[in-house]
Amino acid sequence: MDLDGSDVTIRLIGIDTPEVDGPFTESECFGKAASHYAHELLEGREVQLEFDVERVDPFDRTLAYVWLGGDLVNERIVAEGFATVSTFPPNVRYVDRFLAAERLARERSLGLWGRCP
């Protein structure tokens, strides 16, 4: 993502998607589907970033809530079952929204909730 003229990777605050094959990880159930969903949703689109208390994590990744129009993308990814809630205080601004979205996705067996043990 281009942020103020620099190419940065954004870590979506409050959510955790399943891993895909990488140099330090093996694919987890629904990882490729979650990655594909996020790319389809965001690639080439202009988004707004909202920061919380901490702007960078210990791994030097930029932390943000991502807005696409009036849609909070972090929440949408959870609501569709492509991620679980994973919060790290003090960055907890939308935790209640994320937990509600996760609860509904679980109840409806959406995404990873219907496909992964």
60: alpha, beta or left, given left = phi > 0 and alpha = psi -120 to 50? left
Q: How far apart, in whole angstroms, are the C-alpha atoms of residue 92 and residue 86? A: 10
The catalytic position among 45, 54, 55, 61 is: 61
84, β-bridge pairs: 16
Specify whether 11 is catalytic. yes
Quick one: CA dihedral 21, 116, 30, 51, positive or negative? Answer: negative
The phi and psi torsions of 37 (rounded to 5 degrees) equal: -60, -50
Token pair for residue 107? 């109840």
Specify whether 46 is catalytic. no
The catalytic position among 11, 45, 55, 103 is: 11
**Catalytic amino acids?**
11, 19, 61
